């Protein structure tokens, strides 16, 4: 997941290694990632043609390495974000990372990711319901109740995302990685109408249902 975060931090433009390390650490709730974790990834990205590296003067006159995302790198990032199957859907961190980068994905990919996560949530809710029928004691019941409510809350949030996902435009980035649109480019906006459920399953998407 760290590799996706580093690549995503280059979408808006070139950055030096220290800035990437700090930003990735902030996303991961770590003040600063270790050099042995970040720079080997950047070397791999460079050898794969996903990232370019050039020397540039720093604010204090020192020479720093500036990293920039290539067209191949943006394509690889989108492909990696699109790779969301059962294993990734089980991970809350993997899911939230992709939602945070939904503006890089087309509406169909967003809905597929949401639908895959929805299936996981449905199974978890069924599992928690069966646990609540057991004698777990006061604290065991508290834990299961907390987890069950969290799954219901996420399901409600997922419904909101399903309404947003088909209609929000995909971010357009130039070859330099700058955010925004080119002078003659038009934003990509899906004409697909919003549906009650990302899998086309309306049985679990009745108004007021949890």
- How far, CA to CA in Å, does 15 sit from each of 9, 59, 91, 130, 178? 8, 13, 29, 50, 12
At residue 175, the pLDDT reads: 47
pLDDT (tens, 9 = 90+) of the chain, 210 residues, equals: 888 999 998 998 998 888 888 887 787 776 567 777 788 999 999 999 999 999 877 677 678 889 999 999 999 999 999 999 999 999 999 999 999 999 999 999 999 999 999 999 999 999 999 998 999 999 999 999 999 999 999 999 999 999 888 877 776 554 444 444 443 433 333 333 333 346 544 334 333 343
At residue 31, the pLDDT reads: 59
**Measured distance CA(171)–CA(121) in Å, rounded:** 28
Burial (CB count <10 Å: 0-12, 13-18, 19+), residue 9: buried
Which of left, alpha, beta for 75 (phi over 0: left; psi -120 to 50: alpha)?
alpha
At residue 131, the pLDDT reads: 92
162 Cβ contact list (under 8 Å, min separation 6) = 111, 114, 194, 195, 196, 197, 198
pTM above 0.85, yes or no: no
160 Cβ contact list (under 8 Å, min separation 6) = none
Q: Which domains does the chain have, with CATH numbers?
A: 2-77 (1.10.10.10), 85-210 (no CATH)
At residue 19, the pLDDT reads: 84
Which of left, alpha, beta for 180 (phi over 0: left; psi -120 to 50: alpha)?
left
């Amino acid at each position: 997941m760290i590799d996706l975060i580093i690549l995503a931090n280059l979408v808006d433009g070139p950055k030096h290694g220290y800035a990437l390390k700090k930003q990735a650490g902030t996303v991961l709730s770590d003040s600063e990632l270790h050099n042995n974790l970040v720079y080997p990834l950047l070397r791999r990205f460079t050898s794969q043609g996903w990232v370019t590296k050039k020397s540039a003067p720093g604010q204090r006159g020192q020479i720093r390495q500036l990293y920039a995302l290539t067209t191949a790198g943006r394509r690889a990032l989108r492909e990696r974000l699109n790779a969301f199957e059962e294993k990734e859907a089980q991970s809350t961190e993997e899911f939230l990372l992709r939602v945070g980068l939904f503006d890089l994905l087309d509406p169909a990919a967003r809905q597929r990711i949401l639908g895959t996560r929805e299936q996981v949530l449905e199974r978890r809710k069924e599992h928690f319901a069966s646990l609540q029928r057991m004698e777990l004691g006061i604290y065991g019941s508290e834990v299961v109740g907390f987890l069950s409510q969290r799954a219901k809350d996420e399901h409600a949030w997922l419904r909101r995302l399903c309404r947003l996902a088909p209609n929000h435009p995909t971010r357009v980035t130039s070859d330099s990685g700058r955010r925004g649109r080119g002078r003659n480019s038009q934003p990509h906006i899906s004409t697909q109408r919003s549906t009650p459920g990302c899998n086309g399953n309306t049985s679990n998407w009745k108004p007021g249902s949890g």
